[in-house]
Amino acid sequence: MTERRTQSRIPLQPVYVPADLAAFDHAAKLGEPGAYPYTRGNRAHGPGGAGWIQRELSGEGDAKRSNEQLKYLLERGQTGLDVIGDTPTMGLLDPDHPLAVHAIGTQGVSLCCLSDYRDLYEGLPLERITMSHSLPAVFAVAALHCVARERGLAPAVLRGSVIQAPYYCEDCSYAVHMPFKLRVRMAADTIAFCAAEMPKFHAFIEDTYFISESGLDSIEEMALGFVELRGLVRELLRRGVPIDRFAPRIAILLNCRMDFFEEVAKIRATRRLFARMMREEFGATDPRSWAVNIAAHTSGLTLTAQQPANNIVRGAIQALALACAGVQAIEVSTFDEAFRTPSPEAHLVGLRTQQVIHLESNVGQVADPLGGSYYLETLTDDLERRISEMIESIEARGDAAELSDSGWFRGLFQTAIERHARGIADGTTAKVGLNVHRVPEADDVLLREVAERKIEPARERIAWMKQYRTGRAPEPLREAMAALDECARDENANLLPAIIAATESGATMGEMSGTLRRAYGHSADPFGYPDAPL
Nearer to other proteins among residue 157 and residue 301 (C-beta): 301
Across-strand partners of 296? 254, 330
Nearer to other proteins among residue 189 and residue 213 (C-beta): 213
Distance CA 370, CA 355 (A): 21
Do 259 and 321 touch, CB atoms closer than 8 A? no
Binds other proteins by CB under 8 A, chosen from 35, 237, 309, 338: 338
Nearer to other proteins among residue 107 and residue 293 (C-beta): 107
Q: Which of 529, 493, 494, 489 is nearest to 510 (CA)?
A: 529
Nearer to other proteins among residue 245 and residue 410 (C-beta): 410
- Under the binding rule (CB under 8 A), the answer on residue 134 touching other proteins is no
Nearest approach in angstroms of CB 210 to other proteins is 11
- Under the binding rule (CB under 8 A), the answer on residue 465 touching other proteins is no
Q: What is the DSSP string of 75-124?
A: HTT--SEEEEB-HHHHTT--TTSTTTTTTTTTSSB---SHHHHHHHHTT-
Residues with Cβ < 8 Å from 482, sequence gap 6 or more? none
The DSSP bridge pattern shows strands 293-298 and 202-207 to be: unpaired
Binds other proteins by CB under 8 A, chosen from 63, 83, 103, 111: 103
- Under the binding rule (CB under 8 A), the answer on residue 88 touching other proteins is yes
The single-letter code of the amino acid at 343 is S
- Under the binding rule (CB under 8 A), the answer on residue 436 touching other proteins is no
Do 89 and 111 touch, CB atoms closer than 8 A? yes
- Under the binding rule (CB under 8 A), the answer on residue 422 touching other proteins is yes
**Which residues in 212-251 contact other proteins (CB under 8 A)?**
213-215
Nearest approach in angstroms of CB 303 to other proteins is 10
Task: State the CB neighbour count (10 A cutoff) for residue 17.
Answer: 11
- Under the binding rule (CB under 8 A), the answer on residue 455 touching other proteins is yes
Nearer to other proteins among residue 90 and residue 488 (C-beta): 90
- Under the binding rule (CB under 8 A), the answer on residue 139 touching other proteins is no
Nearer to other proteins among residue 441 and residue 475 (C-beta): 441
Cα–Cα–Cα angle for 313, 319, 320, rounded to 5 degrees: 90
Q: Would you state the torsion angle of the CA atoms of residues 70, 72, 74, 76, taken in this order, to the nearest 10 degrees?
A: -150
Distance CA 280, CA 277 (A): 5
Angle between helices 260-276 and 310-325 (to 10 degrees): 30
Distance CA 53, CA 74 (A): 12
Nearer to other proteins among residue 438 and residue 472 (C-beta): 438
- Under the binding rule (CB under 8 A), the answer on residue 445 touching other proteins is no
> Of 65-73, 101-109, 112-120, 126-134, which segment contacts other proteins by CB under 8 A?
101-109
Site string for other proteins, 304-323 (x = CB under 8 A): xxx-----------------
> Of 189-197, 198-206, 347-355, 418-426, which segment contacts other proteins by CB under 8 A?
418-426
- Under the binding rule (CB under 8 A), the answer on residue 91 touching other proteins is yes
Nearer to other proteins among residue 104 and residue 481 (C-beta): 104
Encode burial over 64-83: b for 16+ CB neighbours within 10 A, e otherwise: ebbbebbeebbeeebbbbbb
> Of 69-77, 291-299, 332-340, 497-505, which segment contacts other proteins by CB under 8 A?
332-340
Distance CA 119, CA 92 (A): 19
Nearer to other proteins among residue 190 and residue 304 (C-beta): 304
Distance CA 474, CA 31 (A): 60
Site string for other proteins, 272-301 (x = CB under 8 A): -----------------------------x
- Under the binding rule (CB under 8 A), the answer on residue 102 touching other proteins is yes
Return the half-sphere exposure (C-beta side, CA atoms, 13 A cut-off) of residue 146: 25
Nearer to other proteins among residue 62 and residue 504 (C-beta): 62
Nearer to other proteins among residue 418 and residue 490 (C-beta): 418
Nearest approach in angstroms of CB 352 to other proteins is 25
Do 524 and 517 touch, CB atoms closer than 8 A? yes
Q: Which of 82, 120, 85, 83 is nearest to 103 (CA)?
A: 85
Nearest approach in angstroms of CB 86 to other proteins is 8
Nearer to other proteins among residue 93 and residue 507 (C-beta): 93
Do 361 and 83 touch, CB atoms closer than 8 A? no
> Of 35-43, 63-71, 96-104, 262-270, which segment contacts other proteins by CB under 8 A?
96-104
Count of residues engaged in binding other proteins, rule: CB under 8 A: 42
Binds other proteins by CB under 8 A, chosen from 28, 154, 359, 421: 421
Q: Which of 174, 281, 170, 159 is nearest to 229 (CA)?
A: 281
- Under the binding rule (CB under 8 A), the answer on residue 99 touching other proteins is yes
Q: Give φ, ψ of 41 to 5 degrees.
A: 125, 155
Nearer to other proteins among residue 98 and residue 240 (C-beta): 98
**Which residues in 47-66 contact other proteins (CB under 8 A)?**
none
| Contacts with other proteins, residue ranges (CB under 8 A) | 87-88, 90-91, 93, 98-103, 106-107, 172-175, 213-215, 301, 304-306, 338-340, 414, 417-418, 420-422, 425, 434, 438, 441, 452, 454-455, 457, 527
